[in-house]
Structure formats: structure tokens, C-alpha cells
Amino acid sequence: MKKEIASLIELDRQRTLLAHIDALLGWDQETYLPKSAVDERAEQIALIQGLVHEKAVDPRVGQLLSALEKHPDLEPLEKAYLRVSRREYDKETKLPPDFVMELARQTSLAQAAWADARRTNDFALFAPHLEKVIELNKRLANYINPHGRPYDVLLDLYEEGSTEAGIAAIFAQMKADTLKILSKIQSRPQVDDSFLHRPVSADRQARISLYLMDAVGFEKDKGRLDTVAHPFTTTLGKSDIRITTRYIEDFLASSMFSTIHESGHALYEMGIDPDPEYSGTRLAEPVSMAIHESQSRLWENMIGRSKAFWERHYAKIQEMAGTLDDVDLDSFVLAINKVEPSLIRTEADEVTYGLHIILRFELESSIMADKLAVKDIPEAWNAKTKELFGLDVPNNSSGCLQDIHWSMGSFGYFPSYALGNLYAAQFWHQMHKDIPDLEAQLAAGKTSVPLAWLRKNVHCHGSFYKPDELVKKATGEGLSPRYFAEYLDNKYAAVYGY
Ligand code: ZN
């Protein structure tokens, strides 16, 4: 290895260590932090994020990058490492340190305010924080690229190369496909899932979650499960991936699928290993939020809602839940695949899920273009809900206050979820080609088979390939919404008999 690469890695690892300490503070804030400690925690997080930023913009990083980029013979790993390091370095050096700390402080406070506002259904409590976060996001976009459209700049942060126009075109196709499938489903008799709403205690649900983590191959010596208002996964170290879930007593399926979903994120993080020499560097990080989401959605929906998976595990869940003794496997699989327009994104079925993302994408676009003021967000949200789902929003907690993302300052993140579905379906299609007896393997409990495929084709690479290169390498073509539409149509034609 070249001497300069080793020096760059050394500096990068220090940044990663600090970033993981920051993640630990954030994890603690969402799980166990006493309410009165919120302001102090915001200061701690601001300080650490300031230090992370300082490490990222260390002038030595810039010097090493410039020297290495002129090097005549770089190996593929070195080239990839320089590419991801350059992208991050250029971005970080454009941000004034004061701004980085201000963003960290304000989003930490905004998250706490959001949680209160959501619990008490009081948008006014959150509105002033949201104003600040939006203003900071516009400044962020302006620092990174003063000539770009703010929303384009923000979208590119989460999915390299993406633009509003590009995503809008993909979403237009996805919306048309979704509405077509939805109307076929709605022409059929609807599914009874009432038994999923029989009360199951949090203790029982916790045991089920731990069981499901094992079922999908979550290595429990490298992570843990805790409970929160809004489930997420966070990485505190290469061998420390924390997942979270929530237990809604009269909705067992919520914790089950949220746990499988977050486990899917964790499996990706656990499997990243482009090369041991690059451990703890940017190359050993997930390539994008959409690829991350493709992993969680693939486990949650394509595996976790398949009959094959439950052939192996249903009897055990019946025993642990204690409320499903009179429900046979087929009825259970039908119920967990019930399609119905609903208000809450995280509980949405996989057909209507994309519509929730389109709603957020369109609102974010208006907000970033100064066409929608904060005070008008609830009304705009409710109007879009009516337009896309035909539903009335009874209160803001079930409407514009339902998601944590805006409080975190993550404008431009939502499209990753829908793109994740599209990537997942394309990987799933290829996986079936490569493993013709995949269903039989799943029915035999061998989740290690799809996991090995994902490890080899997606996880291990980290950020070695860009997202579009990764999907081409794994499936032979660039991202196409076609596979998701085909997947949904095939699956739901069987489920609903249309
Ligand atoms: Zn996710």
C-alpha cells in the first residue's frame, strides 16, 4: 500500500471513531435519555459533530488527496477510495464549522420538539423548529452548490447523481403502476386481518422480535435491540449495530416487520468489507441510503412477507404470540400482505407505500422552492393525502407530524425509501435467477442462502461502486422500475386472485 494512502486511512479512521461516538449520543437520545437532559445533549452532539467536521476537513486530507490523484498507477481499491474521499472532502470543506455545529444543535433540539409535538398532536410546538431546520437546509444546499437548485443538491447527498427531475420521472411510472395494481386489488374481496390486532403484550412481542432477528441471521454479539417511538438502525462501530423497534399492543405485525426491516439494515452494515485494509474508512461505509433501504425492504417484504419464510417460522410465532392458534398459515400470510390505503407510512403495505413517498417528495420540492410555508404544511399534507389515498387526516400526528426526518434535517432523504423498493425488487429478481430453488431454501429456514447472495453482490462492496454501478454489476442493468411493478403484480395477483 502506498504511504500516502496509509496516512489518509489513518486520518479517516479518527473521523470514523468520532462519528461513531456521535452516533452513540444520538442513539442514547432516542432510547434512554432523561427528558431534562435534552439541551445538554444537544450541546454534546454539536461539539462532537464539530470535531467530526474538523477531522473531515483536515488540510492534510486535501494535500494527500491532491498528491495521490496525480499518482500514475492506482489500484482499483485505491481509485475508489480516492473517489469517495474526494466527494466527502469537497462537500465538507464547503461547510463553515459554525454552520455544522448550528445544524447539529438545532436538529437535536428539533427532534425533541417533534417528539413532544407528535405525542400531543400540536404542530405549533414543532413549527418554529421546522422553520429553522428548513432555513439551515437551504443554507446547506447553498454552501455545497450555490448554482444548483437546492432540492437537487440535497437529493444528491443521499443518492449520488440523483436529481428532482430524474426522480420525478421514476415516480411518475411508479405511481401509474401502483394505481393500476391497486385498482385490481380493490376490485376483489378484501382480506381479514382482524386477528393481527388481538392484544399481544410488549414482553411477548419482544421475544418474537428477538426470535425473528435470529431467523434472518442477525449476529447478536454484534448488536442489540431497543425500543423507541420511531424505529431506526444506527452503527456505533463495525461490530456494534443497534436496531430499534416499537411494540403496539393491538398490532403485533408492526413490531414484527419493523424488527425484520431494521435487521435488514443491520445485516448490510455487518456485511460491509471491501477489504480489511480499508476497515473503518469511508470505503467501508454503505454506498447510499437507497441501497441501504433496498436491504431492509428486501428482508421485510420479499422475504419476511413470503409464504416460504413463514412455512418455517409460523408455528413458533403462533406459540409465542398466543393469539393465533385458530389462524392457519394461509390466512396469516394473506393478512400480513393486506393492501389498503392508510395514513401512516411506516405501517403501509408495500403497494401503497410508494404513494406516501410521492406525497413527501412533492411537498419537499415545494418547500425547497419557497412555494410552501411551514404554517401551510398541515393543510397541504392533508390535501395530498386526500388526492393520493382518498383519506381524511384526523390529526397532525397521523399526518405531517408522523415522521422524524424533517426534524433531523433530512430533506431529500424520503425518495431513498421508494428507490430502495425498486432496487430491492431488481436484486430479488436476479437472486431468483441465480438461485432457482430460493423458495425451497427459505421454506427450509435457510435465510443464509439469500444472505450469502446479498453479502457477495451488495454488502461486501461498501462504497467501492456507485449505486448505479452496483446495481449494474449485480443484475446486469441499471435501475429499472419495471422489476418492482412486476414483483407486485405477480405477488398480488396470487394473493388477491385477480
Ligand atoms: Zn429503513
Ligand 1 mean position to 60 CA, how many Å?
A: 35
Q: How confident is the model at residue 57, as a pLDDT?
A: 96
Using an 8 Å Cβ cutoff, are 268 and 453 in contact?
no
Q: How confident is the model at residue 421, as a pLDDT?
A: 97
Neighbours of ion ligand 1 (CB under 5 A): 296
Ligand 1 mean position to 404 CA, how many Å?
A: 12
Ligand 1 mean position to 296 CA, how many Å?
A: 6
Output DSSP code: residue 139: H
Tens-place pLDDT, residues 446-471: 999 999 999 999 999 999 999 999 99
- HSE at residue 225, side-chain half, CA atoms within 13 A, is 25
Q: How confident is the model at residue 253, as a pLDDT?
A: 96
Ligand 1 mean position to 293 CA, how many Å?
A: 5
Report the distance separating Cα 375 and Cα 381, nearest Å.
Answer: 11
Q: How confident is the model at residue 29, as a pLDDT?
A: 93
Which residue numbers are catalytic? 262
Nearest residue to 368 (alpha-carbon basis) of 148, 172, 160, 175: 148
Q: How confident is the model at residue 229, as a pLDDT?
A: 82
Ligand 1 mean position to 197 CA, how many Å?
A: 23
Ligand 1 mean position to 455 CA, how many Å?
A: 18
The radius of gyration of the chain's CA atoms, rounded to the nearest angstrom, is 22
Question: Beta-carbon neighbour count of residue 199 at 10 Å?
Answer: 11
Q: Rounded to 5 degrees, what are φ and ψ at 128?
A: -65, -35
Reported in sequence order, the residue ranges of 175-304 that DSSP labels E, i.e. its strands, are: 223-227, 233-237, 240-245
Ligand 1 mean position to 187 CA, how many Å?
A: 31
Ligand 1 mean position to 58 CA, how many Å?
A: 32
Tens-place pLDDT, residues 113-160: 999 999 999 999 999 999 999 999 999 999 999 999 999 999 999 999
Ligand 1 mean position to 3 CA, how many Å?
A: 38
Share of the chain above pLDDT 90, in %: 97
Nearest residue to 487 (alpha-carbon basis) of 127, 156, 100, 178: 178
DSSP alpha helix (H) spans, 121-251: 123-144, 150-158, 164-186, 202-216
Report the distance separating Cα 470 and Cα 461, nearest Å.
Answer: 8
Report the distance separating Cα 475 and Cα 483, nearest Å.
Answer: 11
Residues of the chain with pLDDT under 70: none
Q: How confident is the model at residue 347, as a pLDDT?
A: 86
Ligand 1 mean position to 179 CA, how many Å?
A: 23
Q: How confident is the model at residue 63, as a pLDDT?
A: 97
